[in-house]
Structure 1
Amino acid sequence: MFDNALPLDINPSTLALEPQPANSLLPDSRMNSDFILNSISEQKNFETILEQFTGLSNSLAQQTQLVSNDSLIQAGKPDLVINKMTTPTSATVTSTINFNYTIKNQGTASTGWSGGYTSFYLSKNLTLDNSDIYLTDDYSDTLAAGASRSESTYFYLSSDLAIGNYYILAKADEYNYVEESNESNNIFAKAITIQELPKPDLVISDLTVPSDAVGGDYLTIDYTIANQGLGSTDWNGSNNKFYLSTDATLTNSDIYIGSDYTYSMEAGTSQNSSAYIYLDETITTGTYYLFAQADGDKYIAESNETNNLRYKTINITEAPKPDLLITKLVAPQTVTAGYSLDVTFTLRNKGDASTGWYGSDTKFYLSQDTVIDANDTYLDQVSSYYVDPDTSSTEKASIALSSKLAGGNYYLIAKADGNNDLVEKNENNNTFYTSIQVTPSLDGYSSFNGYGLVDAAEAVAKALGQNPFPSVPNLGGKNWGADLIKAPEVWAKGYTGNGIIVAVLDTGVDRNHADLSSNIWHNPGEINGNGIDDDNNGFVDDYWGWNFNGNNNNTMDGHSHGTHVSGTIAGVKNDFGVTGIAYNAKIMPVKVLSDSGSGSDRGVAKGIRYAADNGARVINMSLGGGNNNAELRAAVEYASSKGAIVVMAAGNDGDSTTMGHYPAAYATQWGIAVGAVDKRNNMADFSNRAGGTNLAYITAPGVDVYSTVPNNKYDTYSGTSMATPHMAGVIALMLSAKGTLTDAQVRSILISTSENSPTASQTNSLSAFLSPVDMELTQSQFTGAATNTQPTWTRNDSEKSIFITGETVHISSQYEYEQASLTSFDQLTGLVFQSQLTNKEII
């Protein structure tokens, strides 16, 4: 609008008569920019106002000479100045300045639609130039001639701003939005001093330490930290550090012993604190300066960075230390490779401190001399706990010797604190040795793992009188068990178990499982469901085998164990699930245990005879117990005489021998006893060992085995139950290659081709079984070892029974599934396992 817009109470009769100042004339197009008419539209707006209040016509408005091409009125101009600014005389960096200022239009015309922007700068002088520091700007609305307005704004002083004296320069109409009558009077200045932000200053104002301390013990340090600066530490606390020095100057070579944290502090305050510091037992005895350093990490910017230290002297004495040595070592003069070496030794602590809870690991070596070095053979270690000062402990160990150990004369060396876990008074007296003679193993048998890992490729090749089959690529993934025992090498030669019946004496089999259904045996001499014993074998409608627990023909698996075992033996080779070791063999379901896992040893014996009489060439028994039963023994012998090979789980008790576990102990004469290993061919903690009595004990994969379970599902189980079907599958492959093999021949071939045999191929090594990925170390699934808890046995002579592991009543003649524990503690074996299954009845 016009700068001289009329007030609403204007008298229109006098409008034309008012003398017009010279500068109110409006220029025509020939005049220069010193004159201004905002717009023709503003002219028309003004004429409209006139009409509203006077009813005058356009011709009358023209008579006022407001607009004419020939008679022009000169316009006035605004003139903006800052005439007041209330900024502080001083401020600190990182502070925000809120202030007021007054802008005035001392010109003769309004600023129009905008009062422009006022900008603020920090300058070292009164002249605004490009070197000055921009602070902020503030917008002003329209301002009438002669009017002024008080405005407020703020700016922030950056932390990187140099301290010193400045001027705050305020410049009105910074961007020249307003055309003014005077463009040189827009700047207003006010002095300000920029000061440094007040800083804290942390000192250790008091320090109390004991005059004496012992290495290997804790030290209490009491101290006071004070902030004697002018500023707060804000949210920062102080990490105060402590050192030991041999002089009064703290350097990088001094011993850092610990720290203590104190929280944020306002200026002029202090805090008392105590630090509980452990003095390492390796610290040399002597007198030290104990330094306390405030703000030890230098996180806080202080006004004085040179006064953070305070020290006191302290005398460090030697820590009591244990001193372990072997004072006696008793071992047989002669031992056979592959068998256990039983030793007794005395461990003495002649020091003045206990070994503590971590105790000592005594390690054993076989050496050609009396000095332990990299050429010696490490055997085993025995842990001893809390050996107190000036006491002795007599320990025993049964050390498994490799069947591949070369015969000869050795020194058996025992080394106390074999892992150097303890700091001892004397680190040079830990060893003790005695002479021993090792007789070489003639057949490779080991009391630890029998004849070692089965090798399907070499076994089948030897059955055919051929050289070991060449290696093929691993299947990988969940088929690692087949890779480990070299089953794919046998498949590549065309031997897949075709024509071989494998009886599974277990909880039954889910014959409808998609990965098993085409490989389930049915009795060819029986018509299903006609109620007649068609083949006169004494069992009516045993079309799908027989249930010796319920004395009926229902062989379905209401548990899961038998189905899992069956998938490992003969899971169908397809594009899903699992592939069995003998994936073209047939599974004969023989149910000898109920769905809850109980049954009798008589039922198992009958199941063995049924399988042998009805064409089974391999009988898988992933079960066992502690009773040497004549009926069961006779059944095993009977099956072997009929050409069937019995394959028996070694047991999950973690025992040093399988000889107390039946029917596996019958492998001294018939069939194969099977121990469990993991994917790296390490013996499973839960697996019973072979023991000192030579029997056909061979190992197979039994840890984290993936296989079929009922209702078209799959799961991962562990146990010698899972190792046994791997072995059964290998024997089925052997028989599919050469069906005339007898029990004695199968035993002989497996023994001579397994890992430990002197005649086994040298390619039978872990690196030949596993892919580079599988060779990587993985955490064991088993989180404990045998404890001192002993099983509780009660006798029930009314029925010699077989139970699945985990039944609450433990019977002296009991048999169990050889599946590893599912709960945290197995009351029968004392072993702790990681749970893999969901059935809580089983352990």
Structure 2
Amino acid sequence: MNLRRILAACSLLLGFTLGFSQTSAPKNWYNLDPAQDNVPGVSTEKAYQQLLAGKKSKTVIVAVLDSGVDYEHEDLKDVMWVNEDEIPGNGVDDDNNGYIDDIHGWNFLGNKSGENIQYDNLEVTRLYRKYQKMFDGKKPEDLSSKDKELYKKYKEYGKVIEEKRAEVEEEAGTFVAIATAINALSDEIGKEVVTQEDLAQFESDNPLLMYAAQITQTLMDQGQTFEQIRKDINEYAEHLAAEYEYHYNLEFDPRPEVGDDFSDPYDRDYGNNDVRGPDALHGTHVAGIIAAKRDNGLGMNGVADNVRIMSVRTVPDGDERDKDVAAAIIYAVDNGASVINMSFGKGASPRKELVDEAVRYAQSKDVLIIHAAGNENKQINEGNNFPTDKFEKRSGFLGLFGPKYAENWIEVGAINWQNDENLVAYFSNYSPDYVDVFAPGMEIYSTTPFNEYENQQGTSMASPVVAGVAAVIRSYFPDLTAQQVKEVIMQTAVRENKKVKEPGSEVMVPFSQLSVTGGIVNAYEAIQLAAKVKGKKKSKAEGSAGNGNSDSEKKEKKSVAVP
């Protein structure tokens, strides 16, 4: 959804406009090379042509923890993971992994009857509901010191929900009216496909129709088609409706439909094998960036050329639940994933210890996790963006030993395709301590359900670019551990010695201050270094690699060295 274009056009209501590019990115720009193609891509094509041609590779499984993946898509069906130990459709857990007929992955957002969860609350709503049961009717002065802190959060969450519902209700009214008017334009004009010439000649006594025509004309001037404009605005109106009816609705709680014991973190015997789910747009787009079949004459090329996509449905329209995230990570690890992409996040994590345990498990099994930094154009820290690579508690006796941070985790921010002061995507989160690298995340063309393709943007798109690069390295250099692959990617990130706009403002800051590395991921440079690194991966007889017993500190990342 080109949300910024929509908001820019609709901001005419308020008498101002938002600036954005009036040109379009090359469809495959994220795979292109900065020097050869004049866009800050990750040099995938250059790497294949100059470094990997004729080289042998090993098939790598990449788990996509997301909303679901359209496994029948023309550009994905040949790269989907197939559980060969499972007989499709026989209703039997043939491989005894605890999941029946998990052919392409698993869905933790459904029940055993095949019903699926599409919508859920945001975490703030779930927490308010929980605290409401604890504090309703109680006075602050009667509470313990510990409960007073929770009571304070309870009040804060209540205020957020009240304000957001009012804000969404007002905005939804505007956008529903605009969507209705734009839908009516083609009927008024008498043509299904409306052109700029049609709009220039259009006249009506209905001021809303004239306003809709003005918005549409503005967006078409920026290169959008009428069909895309109508689709985007309708989708945004639906998004606002979902926020009001589900995200911030205290009366809505779909979890009982799943049928698990939600209080039991070790109850993972739930879900079903519908890995597409009711809305696979986001996950399908992510999967295509990583692995859409290369050079097949269809759609676009994914980053990685010898991978299989495992779809693990984890993320509803709303905030993911910590228990589901933990279960999904463990499922992916146990079923052979080498890389896990997690293009999701939220502002609170009430059961973070479950996710931490799963991340530690992935680390012990040499699995690399790539995570999107988020789209709130804010500086993130250990307490405002989850999941995170900082463990809530250290492992070992009394939580005194073991690493503070996961050593198998890369946090990814998003860049624009124009290498100027707008290099960092306007929406991207950033941090010199908690965002490791940047990667392409604006106007990313990839697969969408039902054999379609479209541009999407977000750190959700930047993360799979990095996951794809990691998969290429793990495929061509299988002796490297997850930690070594991480360090190769970070050490070879291309540094940009320039000032850029800080996301969400017009303030100019050094690009180097917005992430740990101050760099943009580059497949060509990473593969060159990977070829020189001696792999530390142990054989199965020796045991798993990547346990990471060193006390990895964030500040040490700035001078990472490949062991």
TM-score by length of 1: 0.33
Structure of higher CA gyration radius: 1
Q: Higher helix share goes to which structure?
A: 2
Q: Which has the higher contact order (CA 8 A, sep 6+)?
A: 2
Q: When you count strand as a share of all residues, which structure comes out higher?
A: 1
TM-score (norm 2): 0.48
